[in-house]
A and B are shown apart, each in its own frame.
Chain A
């Protein structure tokens, strides 16, 4: 089913991620818009679920593998698989192949699949060569580098350069932008007090930046930081970077205003 014509728009399967699916569909629609604007044909397979990280990072390899089999089967025929999350894209790209060690058939499928996987913003920038978006966002924003995207996939400059093309937007750098926000998936509920200490340092930096909007590329981190900022009665609004790049900021920010 892979498109043969090099001129034909690439077929992208949107791996929307479970958190976006459940909590923030706007990010999914923003991703579709951005991908279509970048000349892609976007499909959303309905048989997708979660990438399996909760099981994988909790030591449950068997379930992680079963979940991975589902995701690979659903997505392997696309030209590209794109996820609006560095963490989930990292799971699909960097960790799936290892789940099938000792099973050459599946390992080959997982390897081929992994080669197609990209995080949304870096896909737009690095693969589709998008240099600017048509969006407007009157605000001073700051950007948090989510760990998996930054360290597993090397995402750092791409969101910043695309954000620079958003009209009205001023980007101020966040101190310790590359330091974890304390989310860590199940970590934040297994070790709530430690998570909170890390998070507290992060929201301190966010407030100190003076920005009115906090952006990042991973909904887990965003919900964590938004939850804390709102508990601290902060006026900082929290959004996924894709919402701003797609100009879809009419709805309430994550965790409300």
Chain B
């Protein structure tokens, strides 16, 4: 997927001017937040579970090498295959190889952010294999030839009317008179079309919410059941997951599951939590004949032991973006790559480089709402600040901003000079403010006054007045 993060400002400008997008984003503001709050309030142990979940992931990351080995041994013991991929490209080639050995023409896919990250769909298409997204709205996204704008609600940027138009365009068998004005009808149509695909597909690809070291299991969490049909009906089930998905035991999984669905959609549990271990067993009437896991590093190991290790606790619930005023304003596509919102602002620079994704950690007000709702208590603002520090060290941020900040810091370290300069400046600004006590235009302050008035200072600074009082 092409990275447009460097054009974040332009992306944001277009997003703000898009009335349909703005209408769709209204649903994020209203829906997710209340549902999460209700679910959290109904569970007195929620805070304790957050701490428990965080401790589990920290422990798993701190011993990731050993848990990966233990996990691998269990997968092999259950008859599965484990493939290791250092990079996105390695992962793509491994998956293509599995598909080719299975003679696959069509593969079905459960919703998975890691396959977005490694740009799997485009790659499979280039190689003559048709990937079919089965998550109902991920399917809609695929029809629109777009990418998800949210990690759990990929089509949150799309309105119902747009979905209807897309269906009429692509499903050309649809009679014009068919009423598709309700979500039921739209989802029913998608379900009908996708049912046959499950049976056509040779390979089913899913992600994993967790890889369980104790049992060698992969765990997926869905509401639709598409991930399950994808993995049961294909001859081959391929699980694609990054290394930090490891948790030690099923009990540990249970702890994290309790905070996952509540944080994501406000459910106590998602409808389907599926624990898969190896291929079809002797005597099983259904299930895949082969089970493969592709374990991907793609930049994670470099985050371990760094200022960004905490980010590897992320369980992709989306609560941070659901509560982010910047995400609410511009939506997910403006961020310019796979992962939007606050988690994307931390993760994207780690995976594609801060030189490309530098806007993302800067485009935050540091309001801290993301951290306050993060089930894994990831200090997202702190890590965005770390990225700003990296940028500053490498002088990647704009020169004008650097000089302005440096000048202010220079004054702030010299109290006497600070007082002299500010006293004069404020007196002048106060005069300019006139009787209205505000300015509509300010030299060098166009970014402020473009949208708002600039309140004029009262006149003499506080410290200047205190100094005058101190002098008898």
Contact = CB atoms under 8 A, between A and B. Distances in A.
Given A23-B457, A199-B451, A190 B409 contact: no
Interface stretch (B88-96, B175-183, B217-225, B322-330): B322-330
B462 A194 contact: no
A211 interface: no
Contacts of A21: 422, 461-463
Interface string A84-106: 00000000000000000000000
Interface stretch (B236-244, B291-299, B387-395): B387-395
Contact of A46 (B13, B325, B409, B470): B470
B458 A251 contact: yes
Given A180-B365, A187-B363, A224 B408 contact: no
B370 to A, nearest CB: 10
Nearest to B362: A190
B451 A57 contact: no
A67 B366 CA distance: 20
Nearest to A255: B455
A122 interface: no
B409 A231 contact: no
A57 B422 contact: no
Contacts of B366: 57, 147-148, 184-185, 187
Interface stretch (A24-32, A75-83, A165-173): A24-32
B191 interface: no
Residue in B325, B436, B460 with the greatest tally of chain A CB atoms within 10 Å: B325
B437 A46 contact: no
Contacts of A61: 389, 392
B448 interface: yes
A136 interface: no
Contacts of B267: none
B119 interface: no
A194 B326 contact: yes
Interface string B383-410: 0010111111100010001000110110
Contacts of A16: 462-463
Given A59-B388, A227-B448, A44 B466 contact: yes
B365 A182 contact: yes
Q: How large is the interface on B (under 10, 10 to 19, 20 to 34, 35 or more residues)?
A: 35 or more
Interface residues of A, number: 70
Contact of A224 (B363, B452, B462): B452
Contacts of A189: 445, 447-448
A89 to B, nearest CB: 14
Contact of A193 (B12, B372, B470): B12
A187 B366 CA distance: 9
B401 to A, nearest CB: 7
B455 to A, nearest CB: 4
Contacts of B466: 28, 44, 46
Interface of B: 9, 12-13, 16, 325-326, 328-330, 362-369, 371-372, 385, 387-393, 397, 401, 405-406, 408-409, 411-415, 418-419, 422, 425-426, 433, 435-438, 440, 445, 447-448, 450-458, 460-463, 465-467, 470
27 contacts: A16-B463, A21-B422, A22-B462, A47-B415, A48-B415, A49-B411, A54-B409, A58-B388, A58-B397, A59-B387, A147-B368, A148-B368, A151-B371, A179-B367, A184-B364, A189-B445, A192-B450, A193-B12, A196-B451, A198-B325, A224-B452, A226-B453, A227-B448, A230-B453, A255-B438, A256-B433, A256-B438
